[in-house]
C-alpha cells in the first residue's frame, strides 16, 4: 500500500476515534469547570477517566502529528528541513503524551 494511502486511512480512523473522545472530554470538562480542587482530582484519579483521557491524548497527538506532517510535505520543499521537521514533530508527538500520562497517573 502506498504511504500516502496509509496516512490517509490513519487520519480518517484516528479522526473517527477522536470525535467521541473529544465529546466525552468536553462534557466532563464542562461538568468539572466550576468545581473545586477535590472534584477535579476525583475526576482525574478515577481509573476510567485516566484510561479515556490517556487514549484521548495519545489519539489527539497522533492525529495532529499526521496532519502537520502533511503540511510539511506540501509546503517545505527542502528535503533536509522537511525530514528534521518531521522527526522533531514525531518525537514531540510521542514525548508530550507520555509525559502527560505519567503525570496524570501519579495523581
Give the pLDDT of residue 72: 93
Assess contact for 65 and 90: CB atoms under 8 A: yes
Give the pLDDT of residue 9: 93
Instruction: Write down all domains in the chain, each with its CATH number in brackets.
Output: 3-105 (1.20.1300.10)
Taking alpha carbons only, the member of 101, 102, 104, 97 closest to residue 40 is: 104
pLDDT, tens digit, for every residue of 23-36? 999 999 999 988 89
pLDDT tens, per residue, the chain with 107 residues: 788 888 899 999 999 999 999 999 999 999 998 889 999 899 988 999 999 999 999 999 999 999 999 999 899 999 999 999 999 999 999 999 999 999 888 87
Measured CA to CA, the distance from residue 38 to residue 40 in angstroms comes to: 5
Amino acid at each position: 500500500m502506498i504511504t500516502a494511502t496509509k496516512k490517509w486511512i490513519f487520519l480518517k480512523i484516528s479522526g473517527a476515534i477522536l470525535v467521541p473522545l473529544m465529546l466525552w472530554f468536553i462534557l466532563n470538562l464542562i461538568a468539572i469547570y466550576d468545581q473545586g480542587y477535590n472534584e477535579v482530582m476525583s475526576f482525574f484519579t478515577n481509573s476510567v477517566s485516566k484510561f479515556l483521557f490517556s487514549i484521548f491524548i495519545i489519539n489527539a497527538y497522533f492525529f495532529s502529528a499526521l496532519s502537520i506532517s502533511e503540511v510539511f510535505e506540501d509546503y517545505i520543499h527542502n528535503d533536509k528541513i522537511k525530514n528534521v521537521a518531521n522527526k522533531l514533530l514525531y518525537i514531540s508527538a510521542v514525548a508530550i503524551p507520555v509525559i502527560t500520562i505519567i503525570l496524570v497517573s501519579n495523581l
